[in-house]
């Protein structure tokens, strides 16, 4: 696919690298000359210097031939303007815009009323806020992800040395009588990612992901020894940027006592005028004395949401040592993600990786509904629709030779019925299927879901 990417910042570069790796032709428009040189050095992409809000620059970058436009500059206005230009001056069938303002929902309505078709407005802060809220009251869980409109759940957790299942195989766990419709989908062991089989053993230090249904989630958590808290009563947030404010507002609405720590005094004043009940503290969230003075010990949740990964890691480690129960850190450098889990930080989230996931569904073949990337882009959860002509339809899963490193995690029938299938299960036309796979086998897996006629049309 020919993709025009407006903006060359760090987030855009991550998106570009992923798209290039998947065989797409990428052109980047970036205004800063020095940044253009950096992009040319690190990416196999065409780089065009200039403003993404300039008609001439966009045409120079190949707007007329682009199949997809991704507007990812640091200006909401430029991003919307680029989509407006593409609406009239290109045949791009997909337009995606990154919007940072908290008024993004109003913009969705305005664009719709204007007739400006933007296929996806990317606002990762909203997605991340929802992910945070789902796990705050469960100290032992790193993440809870929704698929099939929330009917399928995937949660992550550590295998501790004293866990009752440490050292047991997947088969032995099955023999212990887990709740129905549950499956260990992925194991992260150091740098290794494992799509497990029955003889695979769980080892202390592993980070595992378990797939189940919405109805059975609580029972599966209890089976694995995780007991949710009754409620989050007190939370501390470090970082007063948009994400921190959004999370504080959501926590206020649920009756949580919130304290927000921010270094910038002017920002503190602004935040205090936005938030109704949150206590805003001018201070350094990476300073142990500050955290001690703000009574971190016993806090139900501690969220490090600054723009600096190192600050978030330091603040989280201090909070963990001082006795906060649930720790959440915003981490954007992907190579930090495996490290923070080994350091005992419960939950790590990445705005940049979230943005990549929100774009990939428009690049992938077939009827892909969602893509979720794990850690350093080593594994994926893919949600797609099984279409007519697929070679795996109406066959028992045990008879299908899926790529090694891929597993069917759940199936939702068109009537809404959800199952976590065993070998006797089968995929039928129109089913919504959630796969878990190593990144290296994703192209082969997606091809298996395309009809023969569609596969023949895909350029090599």
Task: Find, among 178, 148, 191, the residue nearest to 381 by Cα.
Answer: 148
Query: What is the Cα–Cα distance from 156 to 143, expressed in whole angstroms?
Result: 5
Same domain, 289 and 385: no
On whether residue 211 sits in a domain, the answer given is yes
Quote the number of domains for the chain. 4
Instruction: Kindly report the pTM of this predicted structure.
Output: 0.87
User: Is 7 contained in some domain?
Assistant: yes
Q: Where a domain ends, among 194, 223, 252?
A: 223
pLDDT at 454 over 70: no
The lowest-confidence range among 100-104, 200-204, 242-246, 272-276 is 100-104
Residue 456: per-residue pLDDT: 35
Closest to 5 (Cα-Cα) out of 18, 16, 21: 16
Give the tens place of pLDDT for each residue, 160-189.
Answer: 999 999 999 999 999 999 999 999 999 999
For 318-336, the DSSP string reads HHHHHT-SEEEEE--SGGG
As a whole number of angstroms, the distance between CA 69 and CA 12 comes to 12
Per DSSP, the three-state class of 128 is helix
Indicate if 275 and 318 belong to the same structural domain.
Answer: yes
pLDDT at 458: 35
Distance CA 119, CA 68 (A): 10
The torsion angle over the Cα atoms of residues 275, 143, 300 and 268, rounded to 10 degrees, is: -30
Is 457 a residue whose pLDDT tops 50? no
Specify which residues 121 forms β-bridges with: 97
Same domain, 336 and 359: no
Last residue of one domain, picked from the residues 122, 156, 183:
122
Q: Tell me: do 441 and 393 sit in the same domain.
A: yes
Provide the residue range defining the domain that includes 105: 2-122
Tell me the per-residue pLDDT of 132-161, one tens digit each, with 9 for 90 and over.
999 998 888 999 999 999 999 999 999 999
> How many CA atoms lie less than 13 Å away from 109 in the CB half-sphere?
3
At residue 400, does pLDDT exceed 70?
A: yes
The reply to whether 232 falls in a domain is: no
Residues 88 and 176 in one domain: no
Q: Are residues 443 and 393 in the same domain?
A: yes
The mean pLDDT of the chain is 90
- Shared-domain flag, residues 377 and 319: no
Say whether pLDDT at 217 is over 50.
yes
How does pLDDT run across 91-121, given as a tens digit for each residue?
888 999 999 887 878 888 888 888 888 888 8
Instruction: Give CA 421 to chain center in angstroms.
Output: 25
Average pLDDT over residues 188-203: 92
Q: What is the CATH number of the domain that holds 280?
A: 3.40.50.720
Lowest mean pLDDT among 13-27, 48-62, 63-77, 339-353: 339-353
348 and 318 in one domain? yes
Shared-domain flag, residues 108 and 156: no
Q: What are 258's two structure tokens?
A: 């919130």
pLDDT tens across 42-93, in order? 999 999 999 999 999 999 999 999 999 999 999 999 999 999 999 989 888 8
pLDDT value for 455: 38
257 within some domain: yes
Whether residue 334 is found in the same domain as residue 385: no
- State mean pLDDT over 206-224: 95
Domain membership flag for residue 255: yes
pLDDT given for residue 194 in this prediction: 95
Instruction: Look up the CATH number of the domain holding residue 375.
Output: 3.30.70.1450
Claim to verify: residue 250 and residue 301 sit in the same structural domain = yes
- Is the predicted pLDDT of residue 419 greater than 80, yes or no? yes
* Edge-first strand listing for the sheet containing 406-412: 368-374, 379-385, 432-438, 406-412, 418-419
Burial of 363 (0-12, 13-18, 19+ CB in 10 A): buried
d(CA 32, CA 327): 37
The residue with greater pLDDT, 192 or 361, is 192
Q: Is residue 444 part of a domain?
A: yes
Q: Which band of pLDDT confidence, cut at 50, 70 and 90, is reported for residue 450?
A: low
H/E element, 161: none
Chain Cα centroid distance, residue 348: 10
Q: Give how far Cα 410 sits from Cα of 28, 447, 453, Å.
A: 37, 19, 26
Instruction: Flag whether 228 is in a domain.
Output: no
* Residues 401-412 pLDDT 10s: 888 899 999 999
Report the distance separating Cα 166 and Cα 238, nearest Å: 34
Place of tokens 């070679």: 391
- Residue 26: the pLDDT is 97
């Amino acid at each position: 696919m020919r993709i025009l990417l407006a903006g060359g910042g760090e987030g855009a570069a991550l998106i570009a690298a992923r798209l290039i790796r998947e065989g797409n032709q990428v052109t980047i428009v970036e205004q800063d000359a020095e940044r253009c040189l950096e992009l040319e050095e690190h990416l196999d992409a065409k780089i065009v210097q200039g403003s993404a809000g300039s008609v001439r620059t966009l045409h120079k970058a190949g707007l007329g031939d682009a199949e997809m436009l991704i507007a990812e500059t640091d200006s909401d206005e430029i991003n919307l303007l680029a989509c407006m230009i593409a609406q009239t001056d290109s045949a791009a069938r997909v337009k995606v815009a990154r919007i940072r303002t908290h008024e993004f929902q109003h913009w969705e309505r305005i664009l719709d009323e204007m007739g400006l078709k933007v296929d996806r407005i990317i606002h990762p802060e909203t997605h991340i806020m929802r992910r945070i809220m789902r796990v705050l009251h469960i100290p032992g869980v790193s993440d809870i992800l929704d698929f099939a409109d929330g009917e399928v759940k995937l949660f992550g957790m550590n295998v501790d040395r004293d866990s009752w299942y440490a050292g047991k195989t997947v088969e032995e766990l099955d023999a212990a009588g887990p709740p129905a419709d549950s499956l260990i989908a992925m194991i992260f062991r150091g740098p290794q990612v494992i799509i497990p089989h029955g003889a695979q053993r769980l080892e202390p230090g592993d980070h595992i992901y378990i797939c189940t249904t919405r109805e059975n989630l609580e029972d599966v958590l209890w089976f694995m020894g995780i007991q949710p808290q009754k409620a989050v009563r007190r939370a501390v947030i470090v970082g007063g940027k948009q994400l921190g404010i959004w999370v504080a507002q959501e926590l206020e609405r649920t009756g949580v006592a919130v304290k927000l720590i921010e270094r910038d005094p002017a920002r503190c004043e602004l935040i205090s005028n936005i938030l109704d009940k949150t206590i805003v503290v001018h201070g350094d969230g990476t300073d142990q004395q500050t955290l001690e003075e703000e009574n971190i010990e016993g806090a139900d949740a501690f969220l490090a949401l600054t723009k600096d990964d190192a600050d978030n890691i330091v603040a989280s480690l201090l909070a963990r040592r001082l006795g906060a129960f649930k720790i959440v850190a915003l981490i954007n450098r992907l190579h930090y993600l495996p490290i923070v889990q080994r350091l005992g930080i419960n939950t790590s989230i990445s705005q940049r990786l979230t943005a990549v996931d929100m774009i990939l569904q428009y690049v992938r073949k077939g009827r892909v509904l969602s893509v979720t990337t794990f850690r350093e882009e080593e594994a994926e959860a893919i949600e797609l629709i099984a279409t007519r002509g697929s070679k795996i339809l109406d066959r028992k899963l045990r008879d299908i030779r899926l790529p090694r490193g891929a597993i069917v995690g759940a199936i939702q029938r068109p009537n809404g019925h959800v199952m976590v299938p065993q070998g006797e299960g089968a995929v039928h036309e129109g089913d919504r299927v959630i796969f878990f796979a190593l990144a290296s086998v994703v192209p082969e897996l997606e091809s298996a879901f395309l009809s023969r006629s569609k596969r023949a049309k895909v350029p090599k």
